[in-house]
Structure 1
Amino acid sequence: MKITRRNVQLFVLLLALVGADLALSPRGSVVGFAGDGLVDGIDWQQVSRIRITGGDGTVTLERSGDGFGVAEYGGFPAHEGVVSEFLRRIVAIGPADLVASEEESVERFGLGSTAVRALLSDEEGSILADLRFAPAPDAKAGCVLRLADSTRIFRTAALTPPIPEPIAWIDSRVLDLDAPRVRVLRLHTAGSAEQTLVRQENGLWSLEGSGETLRPARVDPLLLIASSLYLEDVLADPDLEALGLAPPELSCSFELDGGELRRVELGSDQEGVWTVTTATWGDRWAGILGERTAQNLLGAAERVLSRTGSK
């Protein structure tokens, strides 16, 4: 299955928005079986491992602390909202969603051997649910699904078949950065000295050590671009030097009004692939950025530095 950025965006959007008016089961609730709901006595918070397969794709999500990590990317954080909504909406499927129970309906609904499979396990490795998914018939929104050992088929508009590709599940936002909260900005490019800019009460930015001021129109584009960076792929245990990240072509550090720190570093390898790393990721992961996004970030930083005398 070829996964494009549009596929991923649509998958996340559908999980977040489709069926938002449905009455979801509350946390910790239990859904019955025996002619009732889809699953038997599962609290979605019991799930510690999700393995999704289909076609040539596989993704494994493993609980890590309060969230999940993508095993194929060395535990890189999965999108917490997407995973939790996926589980909660499975648990919420009730008797009103039952559409068929005859054995011949399994193939008719595309829920046979070619269906997408999702295996849910608890922390001991015990299987909680073995599910099969297929798109809803007649090209309508949602999906149909069943338990592997049951011919009872349910239909829901609140889910689409899960995508069996690691990239579809990552938290693709590079920085958790609220641009208006940035009070101190430190940046440098390869070959330039680090410059520190401090936001004043009047909104102007002052260059530490010289007193020179910069208008928000010069600095804010960099902050907005940095807060809107999204990954196209993830590299686990990267060779930072080979990726052009040791040292980086650009380093930006952001200090927020509460003292929290954020940092992003940008580099490119010999083939022109742009990558980033953050203070949070350390040397565990690097992310791949689109060329236009990387150039926009670098260009915005250079425009700031050109007014500080560093370029």
Structure 2
Amino acid sequence: MNELLFDLSAYLKVNKTLVEDCLAKILGQLDPSRELVQAMTHSLMAGGKRLRPMLGLAAAQACGGNPLTALPACCAIEMIHTYSLIHDDLPAMDDDDLRRGVLTCHKKFSEATAILAGDGLLTHAFYVLTRPATVFEFYPEKSILLEILARICLAAGVNGMVEGQMLDMQAQVIESSIESSIAQNNIGNNIGNKQDLLDHLKKIHGLKTGQMIRVSVEAGALSAKADSQALASLGVYADNIGLAFQVMDDILNVEGDPDIMGKAIGSDALHDKMTFPSILGLEQSRAYARQLVDTSLTAISKFDKRADPLRAIANYIINRDH
């Protein structure tokens, strides 16, 4: 097979239901009368692509394991991802009103409740991962769970996603600084300017988006007891699709359909954010995303047909409309 014959839509539908059933079970162990739990549920169960859990399940399958063993890590990562979205939508950051087609958490409840709902999802994710038997029938042995936990902490924390979010907030100031520095050094063309900006943007999203995508793939592979060679190949795959995902996000923010996307478009330009289209233009950004996906597919070319979901997901990333 190649991935063109793989029914990605059916794969995503079945596995999205699987993940959301587990997330609902996790939330079901909490008291639904509490406003904090209601806010957590509002954001976690609002739908979305569930890309990170899909990648974890697909990576476990690609490495010959039982994908169900990866579910604890997949759900914990989705909880952490949702916490990051709640905080990212706050007025102090991106100040968004809609997420996944519904009101953002702070609009539905309050800013304080949204902050605490994000905190709740983040910390409860680690409980779920370290006590998987409370929800899951299959899960890795303790030593593997500990390694997955360590990698998730690194990916989500001060040297990963959180730092990427910080750099994203500072990007406008840094962009102006780079442009000013180049002007002061009398560089007569925009090539150096563009490359400096592009390198910084790659750094931002390699941390903010890429680290959690990479650890999703790693967690799935580790759950299947993958060897170091497989992990290295999957790491290259994940790094490239992670960046491609962000390039497409930036493109969709320019020309996407808000009804399909479930959120407003044009917010990047409104906030004067540094994006791939603002640096490269739309057509060059599309070409760059395709190049990244091609590199990701090459990285897993030695995997057999069990990696077809990973291949299909890579192509989906640059052909999606939301």
Q: Computing the radius of gyration over CA atoms, which structure comes out larger, 1 or 2?
A: 1
Q: TM-score, normalised by structure 1?
A: 0.27
Structure 1 or 2: more helix by fraction? 2
Q: TM-score, normalised by structure 2?
A: 0.26
